[in-house]
Amino acid sequence: MRCIEVSLPVPLFRTFTYSVPEGVAWPIAPGSRVLVPFRNRADIGICLGEAEPPEGVILKPIKAVVDSVPSLPEALLHTARWISDWYAAPLGLTLRSMLPTPLTQANTPAPAGKTQRVVRIVTELPSLLQREQTFARAKQQRAVFELLEAQGGVAPLEALRVQANCSAGVFTAMAKRGLVEVRDEVMQRDPFAERAGVAPPPNPSAAQRDVIDAILRGEPGQVFLLHGITGSGKTLVYIEVLREVLRTPGRSAIVLVPEIALTSQTVDRFRGAFGDAVAVLHSGLSDGERLDAWQSLRRGERRIAVGARSALFAPLEGVGVVIVDEEHESSYKQSETPRYHAREAAIVRARAEGALVVLGSATPSLESWERADRGQAIRLSLPDRAGGAQLPPVQVVDMRVVTKEAVAARNPHAPFDPMLSVFSPTLLAAIESRLHRAEQSLLLLNRRGFAAYVQCHACGDVQVCPHCSISLTYHRVPEALVCHYCQYQHDMPSVCPKCASDKLQRRGLGTQQVEKLVAERFPEARIARMDVDTTSGKWAHTQILDRVGRGEVDILLGTQMIAKGLDFPNVTLVGVIDADTGLNLPDFRASERTFQLLSQVAGRAGRGPKGGDVVVQTRMPHAHAVQHALTHDFLGFVREELGARRHPAYPPFVHIANVIVSGVHQRATAAAATEAAEWVTQLMKRQGLRDLVLVGPAPCPIDRIKDRWRWHFLLKSSQPKLMTRVARYVAERCPVPKDSELRLVVDRDPVSL
Ligand code: ADP
Ligand code: ZN
Ligand code: ZN
């Protein structure tokens, strides 16, 4: 009897065996989709290969082989197996996440484009002044306008009407005034297909040439870590390497970027260099478009896949090079099962393909840096900016001093001016001078995460855990400061333990508040805000960035989104409003993230001939992340930070897995987490697992998400194989009460806790 092993998209760590009836072409290539009976219905599975017929069991026969050419090439199957093992993710779910949705469904309706009545902004109103003059008392029009902006300037009429809770007459009135237009449009267009590519610079510099040659001399599977400072011209290096590799017929390439919408400039350059050979895979594609792109790659019509995380699964064969741009970005980690890190999986795939790997960044991750220290990657560097530009000088403003001076100078009877606690006179003057000279400013409000921490307004001291180098998180009910690593708890102090000041503050500041302050201060400035609230529309990011590129924005204010890869020569000022917010998150990567963010955002300034300046406001000017960013000193930062990660051990010196238990009821969740941790502790005892440490359990730093309470504990081990075994064992066997809504997930190599 002929049998095959089939993987099905179910949350189980097992595969299934089916028989293959006569008349079906044999053998069936691994990676082919097969239609099989499963739980009283037909489902799509992936053939993993021939199987031994089990004894005494009657197998069900497959219904059909769906693919004539396997949907998943060999190297991808290999990558899926690795992801499934390493991240303790069921293989079937991993394989499913590699395929476009329509290919994973037993009966696929053909997705089609259709027309729809849409409302589109035709007149932008970037400054507060313009807005107030235009709308005056027309509140509803203003609300509609701002809703549209938040969706990237265009939205389906009917949806907008419901959102704004207005009559269609409002749109007609706005159209009459020339603010918007209303018309029928085909939705589901691929905006990237319409974007013009941008020609890359014609010739690499000598430094770029050296790096390109070194990469091209690499053995198959060699990993390179390209440490090139911001503006050093890494994109041109990637392009030249691709050009050379693709000279060999049958070769293809994969380029990973952190987020397509935020890196449209980079993508435009790849399209400028390679035109239609590039398939841009992005989240804005409809199912049909995604399938088209996937099929053109599978057939070899397009040879370069550019995209975020999942472009790693492009069904190309003969991949000769995989590029991971901004390799330090945490968005490369998938936050749902399978919780893979695209950089690590890219290396695995590249090895299977015999492809070169280029990991590029101005601020490489400590993981990659250490990989090079271990001899598993070759480090290359571009220490200077391309075209002779200089890194901008960074000025640090100590906000403790600013506050003190403001308080001293203030009229005790006047209300306190909130501007003074947000903007230093230095930063305001810098913005003003840019406005006078018609240059552009970027203002960063670093607001990663939402965990509140407590800082003394007078001396800047932050409440940290005495056992871990991590700030304590403020909890409201019951009021306490909690360490999310070791569960240490402390009452909320009433005065600063260091200077006895009673000005202890919970920190946190919103982009909206800041935008309002800037708009009031500079009413004529054209301001754009970029954060999750203004970029809910799929193309909103790109549209905002295009406006900046066209010079239609004077001040771009945003969260860390604005720090990524932007290359605008007229940006001559970067202001960081509060460097401390990220520093005090309860995460061992807090310093690394802050350093990366400050370096990256600083790197947006001074790319053109006019040069540039960076102003960083902080209450912790001596933090080493700030100090090293100030001098653009990556090596100094790495040395200090690696030192700090040894004791207590954190990645890259130890492997960690975060085990998260979530549930609707707080007490049941806590109990289940405690029980799970106890179960693991017993397992460790029974098996004598000495190189495994369990830390916790404790509430997660964000202890409730979408109405679910979250508890977690950490597993640490210096042995990757042991971690693989334990992670899988926990994911598969760890008891959470059956038939309950409690969930347990294992997040190996977590990027946030
Ligand atoms: P990075 O990604 O390293 O920060 P980019 O690839 O964005 O840098 O390049 C920065 C700028 O330098 C871009 O505007 C690019 O066009 C320009 N550039 C790159 N290489 C050269 C070169 N060899 N000659 C002139 N300009 C260059
Ligand atoms: Zn602690
Ligand atoms: Zn104090």
Question: In whole angstroms, how far apart are CA 79 and each of 288, 310, 312?
Answer: 25, 12, 10
Distances (CA, A) of 240 to 130, 200, 503, 586, 626: 46, 10, 56, 41, 35
Candidate from 273-277, 448-452, 463-467 with smallest mean pLDDT: 448-452
Residue 99: per-residue pLDDT: 93
Q: Quote the pTM value.
A: 0.82
Specify the CATH number for the domain of residue 678: 3.30.70
Of 335, 360, 382, which residue is a domain's last? 382
Q: Residue 620 C-alpha to ligand 3 middle, in angstroms? A: 12
Q: Please identify, by atom number, the ligand 1 atom nearest to the C-alpha of residue 325.
A: 2
Protein residue with its CA nearest to atom 16 in ligand 1: 201
pLDDT, average across residues 407-423: 68
Residues 547 and 628 in one domain: yes
Q: Does 231 contact ligand 1 (Cβ within 6 A)?
A: yes
How far is residue 313's CA from residue 297's CA, in Å, rounded to a whole number?
A: 11
Ligand 1: does its nearest atom lie under 6 Å from the Cβ of 381?
no
367 and 306 in one domain?
yes
% of the chain surpassing 70 pLDDT: 90
Tell me the C-alpha distance between 694 and 710, whole Å. 17
**Ligand located closest to 467 CA:** 2
Summarize pLDDT for 241-284 with one digit per residue, the tens.
999 999 999 999 999 999 877 777 888 899 889 988 999 888 77
Domain end position, chosen among 44, 76, 103: 103
For the segment 488-511, the average pLDDT, to the nearest whole number, is 81
* 194 part of a folded domain: no
Do the domain assignments include residue 501?
yes
Same domain, 175 and 294: no
CATH of the domain at 331: 3.40.50.300
Taking CA atoms only, the protein residue closest to ligand 1 atom 24 is: 387
Judge if the beta carbon of residue 251 lies within 6 A of ligand 1.
no
Cβ of 15 less than 6 Å from ligand 1 = no
Please return the burial class of 720, using the count of CB atoms within 10 Å of its CB with bins 0-12, 13-18 and 19+: exposed
Tokens of 385: 């900016």
Say whether both 257 and 278 belong to one domain. Answer: yes
388 lies in a domain? no
Pairing of strands 356-361, 613-618: unpaired
Contacts of 273 (CB under 8 A, 6+ apart): 197, 199, 200, 239, 242, 243
Q: Does the N-terminal peptide bond of residue 697 adopt cis geometry, omega within 30 degrees of 0?
A: yes
- DSSP strand pairing (223-228 vs 356-361): parallel
How far is ligand 2, taken at its centre, from the CA of residue 463, in Å?
Answer: 11
Give per-residue pLDDT as tens, 197-240: 787 777 899 999 999 999 999 999 999 999 999 989 999 999 99
Q: Are residues 488 and 574 in the same domain?
A: no
Is the CB of residue 201 below 6 angstroms from any atom belonging to ligand 1?
yes
Residues 589 and 444 in one domain: yes
Rounded to whole angstroms, the Cα distance separating 636 from 494 reads: 37
Ligand 1 pocket, residue 205 CB under 6 Å? yes
Per-residue buried b or exposed e for 469-486, using 16+ beta carbons within 10 Å of the residue's own CB: ebbbbbbeeeeebbbbbb
Say yes or no: 445 and 584 in one domain.
Answer: yes
Query: Which domain covers residue 573, as residue numbers?
Result: 394-450+508-645
Sequence length of the chain is 753
467 in a structural domain:
yes
Residue 323 has pLDDT above 50, yes or no: yes
Tell which one of 227, 232, 267, 358 to mutate to probe ligand 1, the residue whose CB is within 8 A of the most ligand atoms. Answer: 232
Q: Is the pLDDT of residue 190 over 80?
A: no
370 in the same domain as 246? yes
ipTM of the prediction greater than 0.90, yes or no: yes
709 vs 441: which has the higher pLDDT: 441
Surface-to-core class of residue 609, CB atoms within 10 Å of its CB (0-12 exposed, 13-18 middle, 19+ buried): exposed
Which residue among 267, 567, 571 is best mutated to probe the pocket of ligand 1, counting the most ligand atoms within 8 A of its Cβ? 567
Same domain, residue pair 431 and 580: yes
More confident call, 475 vs 25:
25
Residue 79 lies in a domain: yes
Asked if residue 374 lies in contact with residue 366, where contact means CB atoms within 8 angstroms, the answer is no
Ligand 3: distance of its center to the CA of 281 in Å? Answer: 50
For position 463, what pLDDT does the model report?
84
Quick one: tokens of 169?
């007459």
Q: In the listed set 41, 71, 103, which residue is the last one of a domain according to the structure?
A: 103
Q: Do 224 and 372 have their domain in common?
A: yes
The residue contributing the CA closest to ligand 1 atom 19 is 233
Tell me the CA–centroid distance for residue 238 and ligand 2, in Å: 42
Residues 482 and 493 placed together within one structural domain of the fold: yes
Which residue type is seen at 466? P
CA distances from 592 to 205, 316, 468, 486, 584 (A): 31, 34, 16, 21, 12
Does 586 lie in the same domain as 516? yes
Decide: 252 and 318 in contact? Cβ < 8 Å.
yes
Q: How far apart are CA 467 and CA 487, in angstroms?
A: 10
Q: Is residue 109 in some structural domain? A: no
187 pLDDT more than 60:
no
CA 467 – ligand 2 centroid, Å: 5
Report d(CA 518, CA 441) in Å as an integer.
Answer: 12
> Does position 109 have pLDDT exceeding 70, yes or no?
no
Mean pLDDT, residues 26-46 taken together: 93
User: Ligand 1 within 6 A of 208 CB?
Assistant: yes
Write down the residue that tokens 């198959």 correspond to. 220
Number of domains present in the structure of the chain = 6
Binding residues: 456, 459, 465, 468, 483, 486, 496, 499
Instruction: Ligand 1, residue 208: give the atom nearest the CA.
Output: 23
- Average per-residue pLDDT in the chain? 87
Mean pLDDT check: name the lowest of 111-125, 148-162, 233-247, 403-417.
403-417
Q: Which of 229, 235, 263 to mutate to test the pocket of ligand 1 (most atoms within 8 A of CB)?
A: 235
Instruction: Supply the CATH number for residue 32's domain.
Output: 3.40.1440.60
- Express each pLDDT in 301-311 by its tens digit: 899 999 999 89
Inside any domain, residue 488: yes
How far apart (Å, rounded) are the C-alpha atoms in residues 548 and 555?
A: 9
- Report how far ligand 2's centroid is from the alpha carbon of 714 (Å): 13
Whole-number Å distance, alpha carbon 270 to ligand 1 midpoint, is 13
pLDDT attached to residue 449? 33
CA of 503 to the centre of ligand 3 (A): 8
Phi/psi at 115 (nearest 5 deg)?
A: -90, 160
How far, in Å, from the CA of 703 to the mean position of ligand 2? 16
Binding site membership of 228 for ligand 1 (Cβ less than 6 Å): yes
**E strand or H helix at 277, and its extent?**
none
134 CB less than 6 Å from ligand 1? Answer: no
Residues above pLDDT 90, as percent of the chain: 50
The answer, yes or no, to whether any atom of ligand 1 lies below 6 A from the CB of 180, is no
Dihedral angle computed from the Cα positions of residues 328, 329, 331 and 336, in that order, rounded to the nearest 10 degrees: 20
Query: Residue 279: inside a domain, yes or no?
Result: yes
